[in-house]
Amino acid sequence: MKQNSVQYHIPEGINGLELLTCSDAGYHFSPHFHDSYCIWLNASSAETYTYKGNSGILQTGDVGIIAPGEVHSNSVFGSESRQLLTYYLNDDLLQAVVSDITGRSDSSIELPTDFHSDTEAYMGLITLWQTLKISKSTLERQSAFYEVLSLLINRYANPVQPEIDTGREQKRTSVVIEQFHDRIDEDLR
């Protein structure tokens, strides 16, 4: 891998967001996962990826979203150049943005792993990247971030389903059986 071909950047004023860029066309990201959401795109070339045993190609103009803990791999596809741009967004930041957008602290969403052909989101992410790297204004960086993340949330987020209270099924079943036995001799007419 070329020296400095993978670079990280933490934008000032947006806690929970990290950026990665990779310009080395020969670098292969072997199977791995992240603790945060991974939103990625290519400003030049295409990227081949493998996820859950399936392979695909993330073209320039497409956006990939990988949920935390999802194992995947990727490498450049058919090119000698690469400009991979990746946003790492932790779940606390995502939920805080959702709360700010909705005005409710009790709503929770997730961005499921998927790959999207979405020119508007792609261009928004490219512009956001430039703003986060160049702008000296925290307000400008935060506003641009909220605008793009709002677009992604509105298009691709799913509400988090409440956890099922597992383990209570047996008790519920026991109560139903007990009530059935208690009333077995009752006349139902």
What pLDDT, in 10s, does the model give residues 115-162? 999 999 999 999 999 999 999 999 999 999 999 999 999 999 998 876
Mean pLDDT of 92-118: 91
Residue 168 pLDDT: 57
pLDDT, mean over the chain: 88
Confidence of residue 36 (pLDDT cuts 50, 70, 90): very high
Query: Pairing relation of β-strands 6-9 and 54-58?
Result: unpaired
Share of the chain above pLDDT 70, in %: 85
Is residue 131 within 8 Å of 141, Cβ to Cβ? Answer: yes
**Alpha carbon distance 21, 88 (integer Å):** 11
Instruction: Give pTM, 2 decimals.
Output: 0.81
CA-based nearest residue to 42, from 113, 111, 125: 125
Structure tokens at 126: 């490219």
Residue 142 pLDDT: 96
pLDDT tens digits, one per residue of 16-27: 999 999 988 888
37, 89, 126 from 15: Cα distances, Å = 14, 9, 20
Mean pLDDT of 85-114: 92
Between vectors from CA 133 to CA 24 and to CA 36, what angle results, nearest 5°? 70
CA-based nearest residue to 42, from 76, 88, 90: 76
pLDDT tens digits, one per residue of 37-83: 999 998 888 899 999 999 999 999 999 999 999 999 999 888 778 88
pLDDT at 1 over 50: no
